[in-house]
Amino acid sequence: MKSYDHYETLKTERKNRVLTVTFNRPDALNATDAKLHTEFSRIVTELRNDADADIIVITGAGRAFSAGGDINWMQEGIDDPASFEVTAQEARDIVYGLLDIGKPVIARVNGHAIGLGATIMLCCDIIVASERAKIGDPHVLMGLVAGDGGAVLWPQHIGYAKAKYYLMTGDLITATEAERIGLITKVVPEDQLDAEVYGLADRLATGPLKAINFTKIATTLQLKAAMHASFEAGLALEIVSNVSEDHREAVDAFRNKRQPKFTGR
């Protein structure tokens, strides 16, 4: 049976043929740093090829699903823009890799799913969230383009009018509102999250898996087509925004606990 013990920022747990992958930086609200980004980009391929797992559950340790990008990692990207080439390739591996997994992937959204956390959530097939979770993609508030997948995934889920509003403002929404507008599948009280997620996982795992898996593949084709049409452009624009003065200002303001003063440059 495949082992994932070599990962440092991810932990895994098997129960029968359900495999749970947990972002494991709880003290940082599972914010993505360079190590987590690299490791998650690699585990996605392993999940696709794991013959002992029929259902994948993705979640976060502690109070959050994933609180977006780690601010120190953002500073590293400013100090060494060339490092974004590696980040961009890993972003491709994450998004395309998740969409290519030919088995059901359930997002167990135990808390806030922000930025890349929201992108990963939206790449999953079924999204079940705790009612205390908030969801958003505030790339723009950090002077960045939502190029890691958000600019494609949000309009595919909820339409362009609402998606543009949330992507251009960076506003967070409650899990209840996210369910209402069709961004996520279901919202439940926090104490019912495990029963809902793992009850569904067990139901799928004991169902007609070939039909379930092929249905997942067929219904994901249009989303994959949209991603292949637009993702590379969004990623390139995010790379450009990484060297902008507004991004530098946003990171400095965040680190020094002050309001940013954007100039549009």
124 contacts 108 by C-beta, under 8 angstroms: no
Residue 72 backbone phi and psi in degrees, to 5? -70, -35
| Distance of alpha carbon 114 from alpha carbon 31, whole angstroms | 9
- For 34, counting Cβ atoms within 10 Å of its Cβ (0-12 exposed, 13-18 middle, 19+ buried), the class is middle
pLDDT tens track for 59-82: 999 999 999 999 999 999 999 988
pTM of this prediction? 0.96
Tell me which residue of 38, 111, 31 sits closest to 71, measured CA to CA: 31
Given pLDDT bands bounded at 50, 70 and 90, which one contains residue 84? confident
What is the assigned CATH class of domain 10-209? alpha beta
Q: What pLDDT sits at residue 82? A: 87
Q: Report in angstroms the alpha-carbon separations of 3 from 6, 13, 38, 42, 112.
A: 8, 10, 18, 13, 28
Q: Which one, of 187, 53, 48, 211, lies nearest residue 130 by Cα?
A: 187
Q: What percentage of the chain exceeds 70 in pLDDT?
A: 100
Instruction: Inform me whether the pLDDT recorded for 83 exceeds 90.
Output: no
CA separation for the pair 212, 220 (Å, rounded): 12
Rounded to whole angstroms, how far apart are CA atoms 98 and 118?
13
Contact 139, 170 (CB under 8 A): yes
- Helices of type H across the chain: 34-48, 71-79, 84-100, 116-122, 150-158, 160-169, 175-180, 193-205, 209-242, 245-255
Residue 253 makes CB contacts below 8 A (sequence gap 6+) with 259, 260, 261
On the question of pLDDT at 1 being above 90, the answer is: no
Residues in the chain: 265
Distance CA 252, CA 259 (A): 10
- pLDDT tens for 131-183 read 999 999 999 999 999 999 999 999 999 999 999 999 999 999 999 999 999 99
pLDDT tens digits, one per residue of 191-222: 999 999 999 999 999 999 999 999 999 999 99
Please list, in sequence order, all residues whose beta carbon lies within 8 angstroms of the beta carbon of residue 64, skipping any fewer than 6 positions away: 26, 29, 30, 110, 111, 112, 113, 117
Q: What is the DSSP letter of 244?
A: S
C-alpha to C-alpha distances, 13 to 5, 58, 59, 191, 215, nearest whole angstrom: 10, 11, 11, 20, 26
